[in-house]
Amino acid sequence: MPENKNIIDTLPGDAAKAMYRAMVTIRQFEDTVYYMFLEGKLPGTVHLYQGQEAVAAGVCANLRKEDVIFSTHRADGHAIAKGVSLNACMAELFGRVTGCCKGKGGAMHLGDIDAGMPPAVAIVGGGLPMAAGCGLAFKYRKQDNVSIAFFGDGAANEGAFHETLNMAAVWKLPVIFVCENNLYGASTHVSKVMKVENVADRASAYGIPGVTVDGNNVFEVYRAAGEAVQRARMGGGPTLLECKTYRRGGHSRGDSNLYRDKKEEAEWLAKDPLVLVREKLVTGGIITEEEIKNIEEQVKAEIEKAVKFAEESPFPAKEEIFKDFWAD
Amino acid sequence: MPENKNIIDTLPGDAAKAMYRAMVTIRQFEDTVYYMFLEGKLPGTVHLYQGQEAVAAGVCANLRKEDVIFSTHRADGHAIAKGVSLNACMAELFGRVTGCCKGKGGAMHLGDIDAGMPPAVAIVGGGLPMAAGCGLAFKYRKQDNVSIAFFGDGAANEGAFHETLNMAAVWKLPVIFVCENNLYGASTHVSKVMKVENVADRASAYGIPGVTVDGNNVFEVYRAAGEAVQRARMGGGPTLLECKTYRRGGHSRGDSNLYRDKKEEAEWLAKDPLVLVREKLVTGGIITEEEIKNIEEQVKAEIEKAVKFAEESPFPAKEEIFKDFWAD
Amino acid sequence: MERLTIAQALREGIREEMRRDERVFCIGEDIGVTKGFGGAFTVTLGLSDEFGHERILDTPISETGLVGAAIGAAMMGLRPIADVQYSDFLFCAMDQVINQAPKMRYMSGGKITVPMVLRAPVGATQRGAQHAQSVESYFFHCPGWKIACPSNAYDAKGLLKTAVRDDNPVFIFEHKKLYGAKGIRKVSGSIDASSDIPAEEYLIPFGQAKILREGKDVTILATLRMVYESLRAAEELASKKGISAEVIDPRTLIPFDYDTLYLSVKKTGRLVIVHEDTMTGGWGAEIAARVSADIFDCLDAPVTRVCAPDTPAPFSTPLEEFFVPDKEKIKEAVLKKA
Amino acid sequence: MERLTIAQALREGIREEMRRDERVFCIGEDIGVTKGFGGAFTVTLGLSDEFGHERILDTPISETGLVGAAIGAAMMGLRPIADVQYSDFLFCAMDQVINQAPKMRYMSGGKITVPMVLRAPVGATQRGAQHAQSVESYFFHCPGWKIACPSNAYDAKGLLKTAVRDDNPVFIFEHKKLYGAKGIRKVSGSIDASSDIPAEEYLIPFGQAKILREGKDVTILATLRMVYESLRAAEELASKKGISAEVIDPRTLIPFDYDTLYLSVKKTGRLVIVHEDTMTGGWGAEIAARVSADIFDCLDAPVTRVCAPDTPAPFSTPLEEFFVPDKEKIKEAVLKKA
Ligand SMILES: Cc1ncc(C[n+]2csc(CCOP(=O)(O)OP(=O)(O)O)c2C)c(N)n1
Ligand SMILES: Cc1ncc(C[n+]2csc(CCOP(=O)(O)OP(=O)(O)O)c2C)c(N)n1
Ligand SMILES: [Mg+2]
Ligand SMILES: [Mg+2]
């Protein structure tokens, strides 16, 4: 994974700052969600995104509003990066009627099609075929939009992965398959369930480009995703883009990662994508310490607002259970 | 696909003759079945194996009775090569109670576990996971047997293919995945549904050996399968073995292959595996013209006997419908 | 007016909808191959000549992939007509069919629609247990799918066109022995289900049962091929036993026209439900349970069901014939309770 | 005698069977990872320490693969206990579950057996539509599976051990809110379903319902979590309304103990069926249909069902609480017909 030294220089400062801000927002959002969850304010479970922020931010910085992303059980980062409202996300986690799915979807189904994100799919691998269908629709209508399928290393062993990549390849669909390889599917290390080193090595089975990048480096992700998006928009078909990254927290809820190798953990936790990006932006003179502080404070305020919004929002009324079901 | 000039020499003459005999049996069996089908004597449909005889014969010549094969809708050749009784096969096609599945399985589910072949699986790709499970059982019990999964090019696009090859690879199961690439899945040419040239190219996605051979050359199949079987028996794990071949007849029933390119068809039909093997055996001095004639006549008699057996066998009684269902 | 088989009528229905609406397209295995079969039962035969291969889209043998692609395309505003060659293969796509398509709108809080049609042939045709199932009941149980099951060409076309225009996912279960496919794709034991198809366009609303034969002594509710067995049974009951049976084809299972059924049962006091699917947990159980609960007092006898026995489908001809309900078994059921 | 939760009782049952019979092994995702969870609900926690990773086999996230592997291994004489983390994921393995496992013996003419156990957690736990389904009815409809659904630790252990020794494929549906998992795997809203487990070995035969509470005015049939709601409803009906309700837990759905149920309904004249699954086409419909047909004359009132509404499971807590049947709805159903 050679680092492109120039990416920050060639990147418009605004874009870099926007990515940074997205990452900060995700981090703070997730920290807050975890706190809320421990406080017993959130129902069900959470699958948090701390540590993987560079992937969502780097990929989505290449997207237009009309491009569409498909997400997973670990949806918060994708939703935020794609521009789903923080208020609506937070309210959904709280199960309120003001949530992006009116409280009917929940933590594993965040999404807002108006922001280019249908409800996240909590069946591992289950979102991929639909992402291809979305790409098919773009191609059918001759739109130069792209469809993004986010998924994990674990999902790469599902049959749906295989069928979808093959279909997308054969039909040259404008789909980017973004594998967030955080080395674990729940508690299972990737090396126990896959003999190849990289998920991207599987691209060759479908005759499409496969790229592996440092998923903790937002600029690398941004560039690689940009190339893939560009190719897809031009009719060049799909790409399998693997971003190597790491969860800072547990798989879900109170998981404390006991099954993780401590050396591996220490190494990866040292590579915090937020620290990395901040360093590079400051060193590169793109951003000042003061701007950083400002962004952090603005984001903090936004998230506090979102929590307030969620907490003050009503739960759906019981009759709501029968609504939004049949279309007519 | 370089041909190993020595294979015939190193092969015991008996083994070569046995393979030849198996191929002749399959060809005559299938020709007869087709005739019976056109005569209206067989219910349902048929998926015939003419043209692919070298695959079943070449693979199964490496197997012991206790090794197990999993087959598909196109099952006759596999059943015969594995040693399921001709009488029982034919009777099954006729739906008689003397059939290898007592008339309950049928043409797409031929098999006899006593000969190392469970009922063929008519769901494309559906047999692969069970073949892995069989390999798992061998490994679990530390037996040096192998499990063979026969399947088509079309099946290589099913999710079950992907999940199974990955599992078998990770667990180093003694399974040989034998893809009979006859260039078509029903009416669909492989090039329309797969961007890679060879199905075996997909082996790299699982970190296992992938081999492509001329599936119309029984000696090549025999050798490649032998290597894979040997590796599997020794604990070396699975192999994806692709045999390039061609159906001489239609996909099923009255299909007349109108969708096939005539040049492609002519080229492949010229490479009749039976003609090829006969030539080589005669040239190599393994077999005489007379022996060939003898074999053909013996086989003819056997198949006539099988037809007679089937036709004279009774249909199952109606009460049979409730039997052989629950085990107790 | 033209006499068409179900396969032809479906083809004309698809053609009309594809001409009318550019968003409509077909996706499936072997459906548009040049000089191919036009799908397993000729329904899409020739359509790629008119619409091209982008709108009659052949897929790899990847049921999860193709059904999921249809769902995704539908979510983005296209109106796919997907098909699997035999309904048994739906189980290969079941996550998409159960967990995704029928839940996506609800999970989105009503923001998304999934206007897709999924066609699937059912019924036993001497091909053994994996090509014989009548699978309607599995989907009948899953909230979110509408389900049509036409028994004749007229209904097939009208229901298909309605399905294509519906904003919900709709299943169309078609019976292999009713297609009327000719030539090499003909299925033995086929029944003539052709109809006179009007030249003018027509649609058939969902949830409207059809009374195929009026009667006063017993109501027989049946779908697909069982409609024909029921009609034959009714004729023989009338001519030989003086029993007047009313035969009702619900045409759609979801929504289900309880009104028409209840009116009939209130008149006859008796109900026999017939489906080719196995009995336990089949859709007939739901109808029987509802009738028994909702119009309990109008029943002169318990509701009876005539269904396949609870086993896999056997291959052998006499066994399969015994497996599939027929007019004799229907007559028996009527006579037993009469 | 030891007080165990369902998760613990299942673990002990598995441990005993694995000690007894070398052919028994477990296969699933995250079931044996060192320092891991012991499966999604701790059932296999610690077992790999005793039996090693070959017998507590962790798999890739490949439901078709792992269920198919279990089937293949079972066909070859092993006795796998497979699990999927949530029953919703069964749909990813559905071809193997519907087309293969329950048909293989029949298709072989009785030569093959498929002695496998498939464990699957059901029930809504505030995780949205794809982690909430009670899927028993899909498999209830498929001939070839036996189905157990234990509501307490005693039954869980006894039924599991019977399942392992059965030569047919057996489903065990376990309710997430009944496991009694502690610590980080605890599910909120859990109910205490623990039991005193005898030190001696015991098995519970399939097809034997348990009368949990005797009564004479109405019979309530319920499984899994609904057993507890029914018992509470029965208590309140007794104390507040003077209605004496008999509560029956069938413990297995296939085979189903019609004898015990019919005896009860003959006594009470009334039946309320409760399941957490959605109503239409649920297993309750079959029971209602049979009761209504078989003991038609013994019913003083139509059979009533209390089930989830026919929608996907909503996420929001008050909606989910409304979605899942509870004692209030059961009481209402009893009172309505009383
Ligand atoms: C089909 C299916 N199987 C299993 C699960 C349970 N499950 C939820 S997340 C998860 C791990 C997923 O791993 P990966 O794809 O790497 O994503 P990550 O959680 O690491 O982001 C599992 C097994 C599921 N939701 N769906
Ligand atoms: C899951 C599934 N999808 C579709 C079919 C219908 N079908 C039967 S054979 C066949 C073609 C299979 O092609 P291939 O795997 O190449 O095997 P071949 O027929 O060439 O031997 C198809 C599509 C099926 N039986 N199962
Ligand atoms: Mg992961
Ligand atoms: Mg083929």
In a domain, D97, yes or no: yes
- How much is the pLDDT for D338? 54
The whole-angstrom distance between A215's CA and the closest CA on chain C is 27
Q: How far is CA D330 from the centre of its chain?
A: 20
Mean pLDDT value of segment D227-242 = 98
With contacts defined as CB-CB under 8 Å, which chain C residues touch D144? 312
Q: What letter would DSSP give residue A126?
A: T
With contacts defined as CB-CB under 8 Å, which chain C residues touch A166? 60, 62, 65
Q: Quick count: other Cβ atoms within 10 Å of Cβ A237?
A: 23
pLDDT tens, residue by residue, B93-151: 999 999 999 999 999 999 999 999 999 999 999 999 999 999 999 999 999 999 999 99
Q: Which of B186, B117, B127 is nearest to B153 (CA)?
A: B186
Q: How many CB pairs under 8 A join A and C?
A: 142
Catalytic residue among D131, D141, D175, D275: D131
Residue C234 sits at the vertex; the CA angle it makes with C233 and C237, to the nearest 5 degrees, is: 85
Asked if D140 and D38 sit in the same domain, the reply is yes
End-to-end Cα separation, chain A, in angstroms:
51
- Give the span between the Cα atoms of B135 and B174, in whole angstroms: 5
CA-nearest residue to B192 within chain C is C60
Mark yes or no for CB contact B140/D54 under 8 Å.
yes
Q: Whose CA is nearest to atom 25 of ligand 1?
A: A123
Is the CB of A234 within 6 Å of ligand 1?
no
Q: In this structure, are residues A107 and A93 in contact, taking their beta carbons and an 8 Å threshold?
A: yes
Mean pLDDT value of segment A106-119 = 98
Give the residue from B96, B121, B162, B163 with the most D CB atoms within 10 Å of its CB, the best one to mutate.
B163
- Cα–Cα separations (whole angstroms), residue B20 to B80, B100, B152, B280: 12, 24, 23, 11
Is the CB of A185 within 6 Å of ligand 1?
yes
Cα atoms in the 13 Å half-sphere on the side-chain side of A39: 9
CA-nearest residue to B205 within chain A is A202
Residue B8 has pLDDT above 80, yes or no: no
Read out DSSP for B292-316? HHHHHHHHHHHHHHHHHHHHHSPPP
Residue A1 has pLDDT above 60, yes or no: no
Q: A288 falls in which pLDDT band (50, 70, 90)?
A: very high
Mark yes or no for CB contact D108/B118 under 8 Å.
yes
- Which CATH number is B210's domain given? 3.40.50.970
In a domain, C202, yes or no: no
Mark yes or no for CB contact B133/D167 under 8 Å.
no
Q: In this structure, are residues C260 and C267 in contact, taking their beta carbons and an 8 Å threshold?
A: no
In a domain, D114, yes or no: yes
Asked if D161 and D223 sit in the same domain, the reply is no
Asked if C94 and C233 sit in the same domain, the reply is no
- Give the span between the Cα atoms of A43 and A40, in whole angstroms: 7
In a domain, C205, yes or no: no
In a domain, A120, yes or no: yes
In a domain, B317, yes or no: no
Is the CB of D17 within 6 Å of ligand 1?
no
Is the CB of B122 within 6 Å of ligand 2?
yes
According to DSSP, the β-strands at A239-244 and A210-214 are parallel
Q: For residue B55, which ligand has an atom nearest its CA?
A: 2
Asked if D146 and D29 sit in the same domain, the reply is yes
Could you tell me what percent of chain B has a pLDDT over 90? 95
Full residue range of the structural domain in which residue D37 is found: 2-197
Asked if D146 and D229 sit in the same domain, the reply is no
ipTM > 0.85? Answer: yes
Is the CB of A303 within 6 Å of ligand 1?
no
In a domain, D304, yes or no: yes
pLDDT tens, residue by residue, D57-95: 999 999 999 999 999 999 999 999 999 999 999 999 999
Cα atoms in the 13 Å half-sphere on the side-chain side of B323: 13
In a domain, D138, yes or no: yes
Mean pLDDT value of segment B221-246 = 98
Q: A6 falls in which pLDDT band (50, 70, 90)?
A: low
- Give the span between the Cα atoms of A123 and A202, in whole angstroms: 21
- Cα–Cα separations (whole angstroms), residue A160 to A168, B157, C169, D61: 12, 10, 20, 11
pLDDT tens, residue by residue, A28-73: 999 999 999 999 999 999 999 999 999 999 999 999 999 999 999 9
3 state SS of C63: helix
In a domain, A52, yes or no: yes
Q: What letter would DSSP give residue D168?
A: S
Residue A289 tokens, joined: 């310490």
Q: D337 falls in which pLDDT band (50, 70, 90)?
A: low
Sign of CA dihedral A133, A136, A140, A142: positive
Is the CB of D62 within 6 Å of ligand 1?
no
pLDDT tens, residue by residue, A7-38: 666 777 789 999 999 999 999 999 999 999 99
- Cα–Cα separations (whole angstroms), residue A5 to A15, A288, B131: 17, 20, 50
Mark yes or no for CB contact A159/C64 under 8 Å.
yes
Residue A101 tokens, joined: 């799915």
Which ligand 1 atom is nearest residue D40's CA?
6
- How much is the pLDDT for C187? 86
Residue B311 has pLDDT above 50, yes or no: yes
Q: Which of A91, A123, A118, A125 is nearest to A107 (CA)?
A: A91
Q: Over chain D, what is the mean pLDDT?
A: 97
Q: Where a domain ends, among C144, C168, C197?
A: C197
Q: In this structure, are residues D285 and C294 in contact, taking their beta carbons and an 8 Å threshold?
A: no
Report residue C57: phi and psi, to 5°.
-95, 115
Amino acid at position B311, single letter: E
Query: Is the minimum CB–CB distance between B103 and chain C shorter than 8 Å?
Result: yes
- Cα–Cα separations (whole angstroms), residue D38 to A230, C169, D28: 44, 38, 10
In a domain, C204, yes or no: no
Q: B1 falls in which pLDDT band (50, 70, 90)?
A: very low
Asked if D70 and D98 sit in the same domain, the reply is yes
- How much is the pLDDT for B142? 98
Mark yes or no for CB contact D314/A159 under 8 Å.
no
Asked if C315 and C186 sit in the same domain, the reply is no
- Which CATH number is D231's domain given? 3.40.50.920
Asked if C79 and C134 sit in the same domain, the reply is yes
- Which CATH number is C150's domain given? 3.40.50.970
Full residue range of the structural domain in which residue A210 is found: 4-312
- pLDDT tens digits in sequence order for chain C, 338 residues long: 899 999 999 999 999 999 999 999 999 999 999 999 999 999 999 999 999 999 999 999 999 999 999 999 999 999 999 999 999 999 999 999 999 999 999 999 999 999 999 999 999 999 999 999 999 999 999 999 999 999 999 999 999 999 999 999 999 999 999 999 777 777 889 999 999 999 999 999 999 999 999 999 999 999 999 999 999 999 999 999 999 999 999 999 999 999 999 999 999 999 999 999 999 999 999 999 999 999 999 999 999 999 999 999 999 999 999 999 999 999 999 999 65
The whole-angstrom distance between A279's CA and the closest CA on chain C is 39
Mean pLDDT value of segment D20-40 = 97
Is the CB of A182 within 6 Å of ligand 1?
yes
- How much is the pLDDT for D161? 98
Catalytic residue among C53, C131, C141, C175: C131
For chain A, the domain total comes to: 1
- How much is the pLDDT for D252? 98
pLDDT tens, residue by residue, D265-297: 999 999 999 999 999 999 999 999 999 999 999
- Give the span between the Cα atoms of B320 and B125, in whole angstroms: 30
Asked if C184 and C241 sit in the same domain, the reply is no
Residue C232 tokens, joined: 């034959």
- Cα–Cα separations (whole angstroms), residue D132 to A108, A128, D121, D190: 12, 21, 9, 14
Asked if D185 and D72 sit in the same domain, the reply is yes
Q: Over chain B, what is the mean pLDDT?
A: 96
Q: Where a domain ends, among D139, D167, D197?
A: D197
Is the CB of B124 within 6 Å of ligand 2?
yes
**Which residues make beta-bridge pairs with B112?**
B117
- How much is the pLDDT for A3? 44
The whole-angstrom distance between C33's CA and the closest CA on chain B is 7
Residue among A109, A157, A258 minimizing CB distance to D61: A157
Amino acid at position B199, single letter: V
From chain C, which residues contact B within 8 Å (Cβ)? 29-30, 33-37, 58-65, 88-89, 91-92, 125-131, 183-184, 188, 309, 311-312, 314-319, 322-323
Residue B316 has pLDDT above 70, yes or no: yes
Q: B2 falls in which pLDDT band (50, 70, 90)?
A: very low
In a domain, A328, yes or no: no
- How much is the pLDDT for C337? 64
Q: Is B12 left (phi over 0), alpha (psi -120 to 50) or beta?
A: beta
- Give the span between the Cα atoms of D122 and D226, in whole angstroms: 12
- How much is the pLDDT for D40? 94
pLDDT tens, residue by residue, B250-289: 999 889 999 999 999 999 999 999 999 999 999 999 999 9
3 state SS of B51: coil
- Give the span between the Cα atoms of C259 and B117, in whole angstroms: 53
Residue B73 sits at the vertex; the CA angle it makes with B71 and B77, to the nearest 5 degrees, is: 60
Q: In this structure, are residues C293 and D304 in contact, taking their beta carbons and an 8 Å threshold?
A: yes
Residue B6 has pLDDT above 60, yes or no: no
Pocket test for ligand 2, best of C61, C89, C185 (most atoms within 8 A of CB): C61
Mark yes or no for CB contact D72/B136 under 8 Å.
yes
Asked if C188 and C232 sit in the same domain, the reply is no
In a domain, D204, yes or no: no
Asked if C181 and C319 sit in the same domain, the reply is no
Mark yes or no for CB contact A101/C109 under 8 Å.
yes
Mark yes or no for CB contact B187/C64 under 8 Å.
no
Q: Whose CA is nearest to atom 8 of ligand 1?
A: A124
For chain D, the domain total comes to: 2
- How much is the pLDDT for D67? 98
Residue A5 has pLDDT above 60, yes or no: no
From chain A, which residues contact B within 8 Å (Cβ)? 157-163, 166, 169-170, 192-196, 201-202, 204-208
Mark yes or no for CB contact C289/D294 under 8 Å.
no
3 state SS of C281: coil
Instruction: State in Å: Cα B18 to ligand 3 middle.
Output: 51
- Give the span between the Cα atoms of C48 and C33, in whole angstroms: 8
Q: How many CB pairs under 8 A join B and C?
A: 143
- How much is the pLDDT for A8? 65
Q: Where a domain ends, among D197, D230, D260?
A: D197
Is the CB of A75 within 6 Å of ligand 1?
no
